[in-house]
Amino acid sequence: DAGITQSPRYKITETGRQVTLMCHQTWSHSYMFWYRQDLGHGLRLIYYSAAADITDKGEVPDGYVVSRSKTENFPLTLESATRSQTSVYFCASQGDITEAFFGQGTRLTVV
């Protein structure tokens, strides 16, 4: 099915553990994005990518790592999870002249 999918949908992890959130899109969109959404802060851009092997920092990149070896995948890794990284994470993809499409989100809880 065409679309953008995130996995897992829900994740509970312990402080200090490494966690990877997955994002996969089937449109071959050039641009992909990771956001976090928190009460009182709205949606904030963590990292984005203009193409395979091209990534750049957004507003809140500290503590996160991304990679994009293939156009369709854009995983987000929390190297050492902290409680402040408890949030809902959204992945999105967009073509050069198309609208942005969002995944359903991953609800991450760090305990």
Partner 1 sequence: KQEVTQIPAALSVPEGENLVLNCSFTDSAIYNLQWFRQDPGKGLTSLLLIQSSQREQTSGRLNASLDKSSGRSTLYIAASQPGDSATYLCAVVTGGFKTIFGAGTRLFVKA
Find all residues with CB under 8 Å of 53, minimum gap 6, and list them: 68, 69
Residue numbers at the binding site for partner 1 (CB under 8 A): 31, 33, 35, 42-45, 48, 50, 56, 58-59, 90, 92, 94, 97-105
CB of 107 to partner 1, least distance (A): 9
CB of 106 to partner 1, least distance (A): 10
CB environment 25-50: b (16+ within 10 A), e (fewer) = beeebbbbbbbbeeeeeeeebbbbbe
Beta carbon nearer to partner 1, 80 or 100: 100
CB of 11 to partner 1, least distance (A): 16
Beta carbon nearer to partner 1, 65 or 102: 102
Beta carbon nearer to partner 1, 74 or 90: 90
CB of 6 to partner 1, least distance (A): 9
